[in-house]
Amino acid sequence: MLAVAMIADAPSSDLDGAGWLDALAALTGPETAALVQSALGSARERSDTLGTRLAFGKLSQVLRPTGLAHPEALARLPELAASGPWLEDEMGRVAFLVALSEQRPPAEFVDTLTTLYRTGSDREQISILRALPFLPDQGNLVPLAREASRTNDVAVFRALACQSAFPARHLPDPAFEQLVLKALFVGVPLDEILNLDSRVTPELKRMVADFADERRAAGRPVPTDVPRLLAIGWSGSV
């Protein structure tokens, strides 16, 4: 059994679309939640992919990558606080996507989400990836996550890899190993990859050791969290 199978059945978010809209109102103010609700109405009225793309895109006109107006409300939302910090535009788009997932059949929603990611701005892509741990049928989102892990935009990569339960919960070993190795390449601290310890395999340790050897041979510094990863035991079995 691969390590991923041990945690693949971990529960998804307890917050549904209505819960996310309530959280959005508490964190950013009722006006923001009303704007997102209006965008959802537009997506519902025109339920094709283009209509959804337009509704999602309009959020960029009203949501800003600024701090939350009422961040203290996160204390009442530990599930969200654990994956923070959050910005207003991320919170609003995630609320939109969670509610949208309740409007569409699963396969249609995955296709729409993939289109939104591929055609989105960097801020939209970041929000989509931050939404992954809170969406239903997360196993169906693995192809999108694997595609996103190949991005050259470090901010977008961090949205997938950091403070998110999704990679360790759902990525198969080869994809998770590549994500960890890329984090080392681009300077993302491994401590920000949730549940990393539970996914360390002999192959990952070999890859990281080779990476460290190549850095030393080139006279380049080795990230300080490499020794900690190499010291982690492996509890999985094949």
Segment (H or E) for 157: helix 154-161
80-95 pLDDT tens trace = 998 879 999 999 999 9
Sign of CA dihedral 169, 174, 179, 180: positive
Whether residue 238 lies inside any domain: the answer is no
| Nearest 10 degrees: Cα torsion 116, 120, 123, 124 | -20
What's the number of CA atoms in the CB half-sphere (13 Å) around residue 56? Answer: 30
Number of domains the chain contains: 1
* Residue length of the chain: 238
Neighbouring CB atoms inside 10 A of 91's CB total 24
| Average pLDDT value for residue range 91-112 | 96
Residue 91 counted as domain residue: yes
What six digits make up the tokens of 34? 């009303």
Q: Give me 195's structure tokens.
A: 């549940």
Domain that holds residue 214: 3-231
Which pLDDT tens digit goes with each residue over 20-40?
999 999 999 999 999 999 999
Q: Is residue 237 part of a domain?
A: no
Output the pTM of the full model: 0.91
